[in-house]
Structure 1
């Protein structure tokens, strides 16, 4: 009993690791098990594709699945914006039940905007990040693929399960 009390007290002093819900304005977390390479090829699959040469865009719809290295992103719709010189992808805009998975970590949101050059993904709209048995929610999550970190902001709430023997 005393050991359990000491563990709970120590966890309470460390911040959000209380085993119950906690609220903060913003927090940084690790995301994914490996650093991602934003220069790796991007593979896309979908039920339909519409290309607009004049605007330099392509819209993938229906069961869209995107893979880049170890990372996977799925959504109902993804708009691909090509670089001005049409020599590569500038950014991706995913909407409709967006799920981002990297290693054991998974995030869900209403929208995700991925800037290929900077290696940054911004997820917005009821973001839910799960890492094992732990969960974080926020209005916005910015993932830096090169560093493997994420910044959550906008009424962050966490539910963390304290591990222990």
Structure 2
């Protein structure tokens, strides 16, 4: 037989409320996984109009489709942001003057300020300042880590949105 405990009972205040709060904290990663998680990313807002510097072991250019493929320890630098990958394909506008998009693959690392993210692939739209990372995304911010299937970084306002099986471990402050 189950007995109902009255609300004004001291047991309710001393045991059930902390238990309910702990349950809510335990469910935060589940809630984040269901809805996605929006977080800050990087120390500074990135200006997508800044020049993009690319360093690599080799370069292959296709004049017909307006692409360039950098391979071997590729490092892309734009302002405070760093992106590294084994292979990066660069897509230019029709005139061939401006970079429109960068597509990195083979294991990508993105660093902005003290924040770093890793994923299998990344697609950076330079004009919009949006970086879409997918495939076992790992985000490291100080002592905190988050994982997800996908992450979209808005470099203009310094935020990121993680989606698809978002997971984190919450540390208590002892």
Q: Same fold (TM over 0.5)?
A: yes
Is 1:101 matched with 2:111? yes
User: What number of residue pairs does the alignment pair up?
Assistant: 154
Which structure dedicates a bigger proportion of its chain to helix?
2
Deviation, 1:76, is 0.5
CA shift at 1:96, angstroms?
A: 0.9
User: For 2:52, which of 15, 23, 42 is the aligned residue?
Assistant: 42
1:78 matches 2:88? yes
**Alpha-carbon distance in 2 for matches of 1:9, 1:63:** 51
The structure richer in strand per residue is 1
The answer for the alignment partner of 2:162 in structure 1 is: 152
Instruction: Identify the residue that residue 102 of structure 2 maps to in structure 1.
Output: 92
Distance 1:72 1:129 in 2: 14
Higher relative contact order (CA 8 A, sep 6+): 1
Matching residue within 122, 133, 138 for 2:132: 122
1:55 Cα shift? 0.8
Compared CA separation, residues 14 and 134, structure 1 to 2 (3 A):
farther
CA contact (8 A) 1:17 1:161 kept: no
- Structure 1's 115 and 96: CA in aligned 2 closer, same or farther, altered over 3 A? same
Q: For residues 3-60 of structure 1, give each alpha carbon's deviation from its aligned partner in whole angstroms, at most 9, with x where no partner exists.
A: xxxxx98984774798xxx332211010001111111100000001000111100000
Cα shift at 1:148: 0.3
TM value normalised by structure 1: 0.86
Q: Higher Cα Rg: structure 1 or 2?
A: 2
Query: Which residue is equivalent to 1:69?
Result: 79
Unaligned runs of 5+ in 1: 1-7
